[in-house]
Amino acid sequence: MAILMSRLKELGGSDINGTLPRTALANVSRSLGIHKNTVKSVWIRFCQTGSVDSGRIHGGGRVRKTGEDHERYVQYLITETPSLSLGDIQQRIEEMFDIKVSKSNISRLLKRLDTHKRLVRPAAARFEDDNMAYANVFLRVLNSIDYRRLKFFDESGFAVPDLCNPRYGRALCGERAIEVNKQRRSRNVTLNLMIGADGVAYFNLLDGPSNMDTFTEFFLQATNATNNNGDFALKPGDIVILDKCPIHHGHAGRIVSNLLNTMHVEYVFLPTYSPHLNPAELCFQHIKTVFKSDSVARNLAKDNLHFQFHT
């Protein structure tokens, strides 16, 4: 910047009245490889303040100032409200620090912080005092017992992704891919799953949604089922952990709880709205990812589901 100011003065610039010869900006811009608008912005700032050290200047004349204080403030903003837009962050920084910053500068700052993630919106009930207290007790208890006793249960509905209705096909450039056929709908399937430290303890598939009868039937079958190692899916001393779906703590839940108590198996609820504490959710996510990305898996699912529900 000192060289820039020196060149401008050599060409006849006056920092007292802020005047410059007509060709001075272009000559300095060309000789130093700096955009003419930037040269002009530096000159104006020097004439007004007598210094060019209080901010870095870039094209458009907006002062670029994002130090540690600004970075910490941005971290606070995105922690408090992750859905803030780039424009919202820019406005708040300018109001907070009384400076001008560009969106591109804020974008570079955000990239350094690695903040762009899928937005999660947990239910407010998850953070109520009673539920937070229950969650703390729940985690302490689970941490104090043998993990091999834990069995996590959950159910998930699958609209098996386009097993009969492929969404994509081939066509010549500039033409639509059209295939006339009968209206066919993907099957709705419910997977009931109980998983433990050794993997899947027991599961079954339903042709349609789950209800109180199918929930009760699952555990009636699970009490007599064995896994691939020949061990019983449920053993005395086990703890069945599941969410607070109405089916799980209604009439069917009481039936299942009494059944498991006769086997000396505990029946415990997860904290409200805490799917991240249930490993079965990770299993469901993996299965759905495979269905979406693997055509072989889709074809196997289509054939096996047709055999299971129509024989």
pLDDT at 278: 95
pLDDT at 55: 47
What lies within 8 Å, CB to CB, of 231 at 6+ separation is 198
Left (φ > 0), alpha (ψ -120 to 50) or beta: where does 98 sit?
left
Whether residue 307 is predicted with pLDDT greater than 80 in this model: the reply is no
The pLDDT tens digits of the residues spanning 219-263 come to 999 999 988 778 899 999 999 999 999 999 889 999 999 999 999
pLDDT at 61: 44
pTM over 0.85: no
The pLDDT tens digits of the residues spanning 28-67 come to 777 776 777 777 877 777 777 766 554 444 444 444 456 7
Q: Where are the domains of the chain?
A: 2-61, 64-113, 125-166+185-309
Share of the chain above pLDDT 70, in %: 84
Strands 63-64, 56-57: parallel, antiparallel or unpaired by DSSP?
A: antiparallel
pLDDT at 63: 45
pLDDT at 268: 96
Are the CB atoms for 47 and 84 separated by under 8 Å? no
Whether residue 214 is predicted with pLDDT greater than 90 in this model: the reply is yes
Q: What is the rounded average pLDDT of the residues 159-177?
A: 71
pLDDT band at 21 (very low <50, low <70, confident <90, very high): confident
- Distance (Å, whole) CA 35 – CA 5: 14
261-266-272 Cα angle (round to 5): 130
The pLDDT tens digits of the residues spanning 102-134 come to 888 888 888 887 767 777 777 777 888 899 999
Q: Does domain 125-166+185-309 have CATH number 3.40.50.620?
A: no
pLDDT at 57: 40
pLDDT at 236: 95
More confidently predicted of 240 and 184: 240
What lies within 8 Å, CB to CB, of 258 at 6+ separation is none
Q: What is the rounded average pLDDT of the residues 152-174?
A: 75
Sign of the Cα pseudo-torsion (219, 220, 224, 227, in order)? negative
DSSP code of residue 58? -
- Of 88, 111, 113, 112, give the one whose Cα is nearest residue 101: 88
What lies within 8 Å, CB to CB, of 200 at 6+ separation is 193, 194, 227, 283
The pLDDT tens digits of the residues spanning 263-296 come to 999 999 999 989 889 999 999 988 888 877 777 8
